[in-house]
Amino acid sequence: MKRLSPFNITSLTLGFAFLYLPMILLVIYSFNSSKLVTVWAGFSTKWYGELLRDEAFLDAALVTIKVAVMSSALATVLGTMAAYVLVNGGRFFGRTLFSGMIYAPLVMPEVITGLSLLLLFIGIGMDRGVLTIVLAHTTFAMCYVSVVVSSRLVSFDRSLEEAALDLGCNRFDAFRLVTLPIIAPAVISGWLLAFTLSLDDLVIASFVSGPSSTTLPIKIWSSVRLGVSPEINALSTMMIGIVTIGVITASLVSKRKSLNAQKDAQAAERAA
Amino acid sequence: MRRFAMIAVPYGWLAVLFLIPFLIVFKISLSDAALAIPPYAPTMKDGFGALLQGLDFENFVFLTTDDLYYKAYLSSLKIAFFSTFFTLLVGYPMAYGMARAPEEWRATLMLLVILPFWTSFLIRVYALIGILSNEGLLNQFLLWLGVISEPLVILNTNIAVYVGIVYTYLPFMILPIYAALDRMDDSLIEAAEDLGCSRMSAFWLVTIPLSKNGIIAGCFLVFIPALGEFVIPSLLGGSGTLMIGKVLFEEFFNNRDWPVASAVAVILLLILIIPIVLFQRNQQKQAEAEG
């Protein structure tokens, strides 16, 4: 019989307090009317107004979203292909190198990834801008996508695909009509991961961005280096809010799905 | 033909944007700094013969003569090692508590661990600045309690870097340990207790060894990225905080010495290979044990 001991309760309470208090305080202080971020001077939403009027921030947000949309879409396609090749591709020349190149970026320090990509772009004379950031983000994000998707593909029953081939599908149609719908949840979570990683990246983007392509993290970074500011608190609160709503919605949807699946299974049992 | 394209497209992408850039870093680490654009010599334009002659290990020799660099490597290793240890100290009891929590709470607890992972890393580090600074909320609170009479200096010291790493990497430690504890058969603990173990010794003799793989995985997941960390030491650490990721960034952007920055990167990678290979082995062993 499992029971939570006082020790368990204390460690959970203190642990989650440690994880959440800094963010909760950040949210509270974003509504502080004082410019001094550590002195409470009454409730106000004026920093949100200032933030939304700040064009530099809006431009950076736009660039960030553009980069994230493009790189996550590319990364999802390439990562799913890579996962399919890794799991079902059989033997081919340089397979070990290929799987090494999939796993290495996951553990590579960002400073090295950023440095090496910048040296490549300079070496081939490519101007730094939105395109170089998209290429960089796609490269590391596709590796995350392929890890997420291949973990689903491993448990996928290949005889379904073989059945489709026997019934006259070509390989591509079999993939599109049979495999893809089954691995879709993993592909979607891979895409979400790629999108978030792109939104979040500071270090790699600092190396490969040009003067006209400042992303939101780079903009936050340059103002945070000067200290805590109420606008950044407001911006952080908005970002935390979006993520919280997104994650909670996703978990509710998946919970409902699994409940429905349970119900279906029960109904099927009764019918049988 | 389609199979060929399926393999060639991701393969080619990674070869051009991962493998070749890395080879370029290696090549530039053997070049000399030059007052030119790009700021190193020789370049491909000088012809293949000049390219081969101009390369040497000078930059690596330079790294051994200036003690800034080996101090930075040693200090990164030290900071990564101790912060991994502290993360384990905070994370294990949390994972253990989660594994013992009632079934209906677990999804929520899991969500609470994962949520910070989706939240911007930069913002989470930023949130700590307002807490740890001299006029920060922690000092205000402690002064109000009367525990201290003068504010503690935490921000811009190595202590803040430790706090920052534990704070941001905690989910990476909790998740694998929780997964290991969750799979554990509770009747083993009951058996140990029936056989005369105290609660404490059952924990040390049964629970800890059975969660060993989770602990190892969690430790590597914290140690490996912490070693090359750049954001945390730059924002929370002080001028005395030496970490190799920060040194590399400054060497490249402030000193504009690309060859030395590349040599720093090559050595960092060589150091990282050991924990990465150990981590891979552990993961494989675990996969085999399960499969």
Give B110-175 as a DSSP string: HHHHHHHHHS-HHHHHHHHHHHHSTTSHHHHHHHHHTS-SS----TTSHHHHHHHHHHHHHHHHHH
CB contact, 8 Å: A246 with chain B?
yes
A199, exposed or middle or buried, with CB in 10 Å at 0-12, 13-18, 19+? Answer: buried
DSSP per position, B233-285: HHHTS-TT---HHHHHHHHHHTS--HHHHHHHHHHHHHHHHHHHHHHHHHHHH
Domain that holds residue A187: 53-218
> Does residue A152 lie in a domain region?
yes
Q: Residue A62 in 3-state DSSP?
A: helix
> Does residue A34 lie in a domain region?
no
> Does residue A244 lie in a domain region?
no
Query: What domains can you pick out in chain B, each with its CATH number?
Result: 1-64 (no CATH), 66-290 (1.10.3720.10)
Contact flag A18-B167 (C-beta cutoff 8 Å): yes
CA angle (B121, B122, B125) in 5-degree steps = 90
CB neighbours of residue B2 within 10 Å: 10
What is the structure's pLDDT at B256? 82
More confident of the two residues B281 and A143: A143
pLDDT band, very low/low/confident/very high, at B180 (cuts 50, 70, 90): very high
Contact flag B114-A104 (C-beta cutoff 8 Å): no
Distance CA B219, CA B210 (A): 16
What is the structure's pLDDT at A1? 43
Contact flag A243-B118 (C-beta cutoff 8 Å): yes
Where are the alpha helices (H) located in A155-202, listed in sequence order? 158-166, 171-174, 180-200
> Does residue A204 lie in a domain region?
yes
Say how many CA atoms lie within 13 Å of A73 toward its Cβ. Answer: 5
Which residues 120-159 on chain A approach chain B with CB closer than 8 angstroms? 120, 122-123, 135-136, 138-139, 142, 146
Decide if pLDDT at B40 tops 80.
no
Phi, psi of A160 (to 5 degrees): -60, -45
- Residues found in chain B: 291
Decide if pLDDT at B84 tops 60.
yes
Contact flag A202-B123 (C-beta cutoff 8 Å): no
- Chain B residue numbers with beta carbons less than 8 Å from the beta carbon of A79 are 10
Residue B14: partners with Cβ closer than 8 Å, 6 or more residues away: A82, A98, A101, A102, A139, A142
Bridge partners, B110 (sequence order): none
How much is the mean pLDDT over chain B? Answer: 88
Contact flag A82-B10 (C-beta cutoff 8 Å): yes
> Does residue A44 lie in a domain region?
no
Contact flag A115-B119 (C-beta cutoff 8 Å): no
Shortest CA distance to B87 belongs to which of B176, B154, B183, B208?
B176
Average pLDDT per 10 consecutive residues for chain A, totaling 272 residues: 80 94 91 79 87 90 95 96 87 86 88 93 90 96 94 84 87 84 91 93 93 91 83 91 90 84 83 74
CB contact, 8 Å: A199 with chain B?
yes
The pair of three-digit structure tokens given for residue A71, joined into one six-digit string = 């790189």
- Smallest Cα distance from B116 to chain A, Å: 8
What does the DSSP 8-state code read for residue B40? E
CB A121 within 8 A of CB A128: yes
Distance CA B206, CA B189 (A): 7
Residue A202: partners with Cβ closer than 8 Å, 6 or more residues away: A217, A218, A220, A221, B121, B122, B231
Distance CA B285, CA B291 (A): 10
> Does residue A126 lie in a domain region?
yes
Distance CA A77, CA A84 (A): 11
Distance CA A172, CA A156 (A): 17
CB contact, 8 Å: B15 with chain A?
yes
Decide if pLDDT at B215 tops 90.
yes
Q: Considering its fold, how many domains does chain A have in total?
A: 1
Give me the residue from B10, B97, B133 closest to A78, CB to CB: B10
> Does residue A223 lie in a domain region?
no
Contact flag B123-A240 (C-beta cutoff 8 Å): yes
Contact flag B119-A239 (C-beta cutoff 8 Å): yes
What is the structure's pLDDT at B45? 63
The secondary element (H helix, E strand) that includes residue A244 is helix A230-271
- Smallest Cα distance from B63 to chain A, Å: 17
Cis-peptide into B38, omega within 30 deg:
yes
Shortest CA distance to B157 belongs to which of B241, B228, B244?
B241
CB B98 within 8 A of CB A12: yes
Per-residue pLDDT tens over the stretch A25-76: 999 988 988 877 677 888 888 889 988 898 988 999 999 999 999 999 999 9
Per-residue pLDDT tens over the stretch B100-128: 999 888 889 999 999 988 889 999 999 99
Residue A202 belongs to domain with CATH number? 1.10.3720.10
CB contact, 8 Å: B238 with chain A?
no
Per-residue pLDDT tens over the stretch B227-237: 999 999 999 99
Q: Helix-strand-coil percent breakdown of chain B, rounded to 5?
A: 80, 0, 20
Bridge partners, B32 (sequence order): B41
> Does residue A39 lie in a domain region?
no
- The strand pair at B32-33 and B40-41 is best described as antiparallel
Decide if pLDDT at B1 tops 70.
no
Decide if pLDDT at B291 tops 60.
no
Where are the alpha helices (H) located in A89-179, listed in sequence order? 95-107, 110-123, 130-154, 158-166, 171-174
CB B95 within 8 A of CB B177: yes
Q: What is the dihedral angle through the alpha carbons of B249, B253, B254, B256, rounded to the nearest 10 degrees?
A: 110
- Chain A residue numbers with beta carbons less than 8 Å from the beta carbon of B167 are 18-19, 22
CB contact, 8 Å: B165 with chain A?
no
